Amino acid sequence: MRAATGDRLVIHGKQVGQTDRRGEILEVRGENGGPPYLVKFDDGHETLLYPGADCELEREHQAR
């Protein structure tokens, strides 16, 4: 995955009824847009994240 500051990550729920988590990438700490990413989720929580298979990238210009 290659991302840029301002892109958004969506982490899909793993269980039935579990909601998706959405957050904005504040910093890209890997080389050439690679992880890890500093992400601020919509609930205000910030974390350093290596995205898994349940994660989808929304480019800044695609954001809703």
Task: Show the domain range for 43.
Answer: 8-59
* CA 16 – CA 28 distance, rounded (Å): 31
pLDDT in tens, 44-62: 999 999 999 999 999 876 5
In this prediction the pTM is 0.84
Give the per-residue pLDDT at 3.
94
Backbone angles phi, psi at 62, to 5 degrees: -95, -15
Instruction: Find the mean pLDDT for residues 28-52.
Output: 96
Name the domain count of the chain: 1
Residue 18 has pLDDT above 90, yes or no: no
* CA 6 – CA 16 distance, rounded (Å): 29
Residue 35 belongs to some domain of the structure: yes
Higher pLDDT, 38 or 54: 38
Residue 43 belongs to some domain of the structure: yes
Residue 36 belongs to some domain of the structure: yes
Residue 27 belongs to some domain of the structure: yes
Q: Give which of 33, 21, 31 is closest to 59, Cα–Cα.
A: 33
Residue 17 CA to its chain's centroid (Å): 20
Percent of all residues in the chain with a pLDDT value above 70, rounded to a whole number: 94
* CA 1 – CA 26 distance, rounded (Å): 16
